[in-house]
């Protein structure tokens, strides 16, 4: 199932709108105060990043911290918040074409 931003992206691609410009103008930036759930809704592919950090922390972040902001998650598990944000951004920026 596609989220609102993915549907908008498909529409933008169909209309010939440059995707980079679309993202700059329409996609809300990732913020440290976003919850894990909000990040997953923002970009489903970020689940892979959370799985990576779960291996490091020894805890299921998506199970135990779904409603916690990223700042709390980083503090709870001693994670580098800047690196977590960078990894999530990188993942979101590299997800494959979502066209049906």
Per-residue pLDDT band for 60 (boundaries 50, 70, 90) equals very high
Helices (H) and strands (E) in the chain, counts: 7, 0
In a domain, 98, yes or no: no
| 62 in Cβ contact with 24 (< 8 Å) | no
As a whole number of angstroms, the distance between CA 34 and CA 70 comes to 6
| Overall domain count for the chain | 1
Using CB atoms within 10 A of its CB, is residue 100 exposed (0-12), middle (13-18) or buried (19+)? exposed
Q: Give me the pLDDT at residue 96, please.
A: 45
Domain that holds residue 60: 4-93
Q: What pTM did the predictor assign?
A: 0.68
| Residue closest to 73 by CA, chosen among 30, 28, 32 | 32
Whether the predicted pLDDT of 97 surpasses 70: no
Q: Give me the pLDDT at residue 83, please.
A: 95
Which ranges of the chain would DSSP assign to H, the alpha helix?
Answer: 4-14, 19-26, 36-42, 47-57, 61-64, 70-77, 81-93
CATH number, position 23: 1.10.3910
Range name among 1-5, 30-34, 37-41, 78-82 with the lowest pLDDT average: 1-5
Per-residue pLDDT band for 37 (boundaries 50, 70, 90) equals very high
In a domain, 76, yes or no: yes
């Amino acid at each position: 199932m596609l989220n609102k931003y993915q549907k908008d992206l498909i529409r933008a691609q169909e209309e010939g709108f440059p995707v980079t410009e679309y993202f700059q103008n329409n996609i809300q930036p990732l913020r440290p105060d976003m919850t894990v759930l909000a990040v997953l809704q923002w970009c489903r592919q970020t689940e892979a990043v959370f799985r990576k950090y779960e291996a490091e922390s020894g805890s299921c972040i998506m199970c135990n911290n779904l409603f916690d902001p990223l700042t709390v998650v980083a503090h709870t598990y001693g994670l580098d918040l800047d690196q977590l944000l960078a990894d999530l951004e990188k993942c979101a920026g590299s997800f494959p074409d979502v066209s049906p």
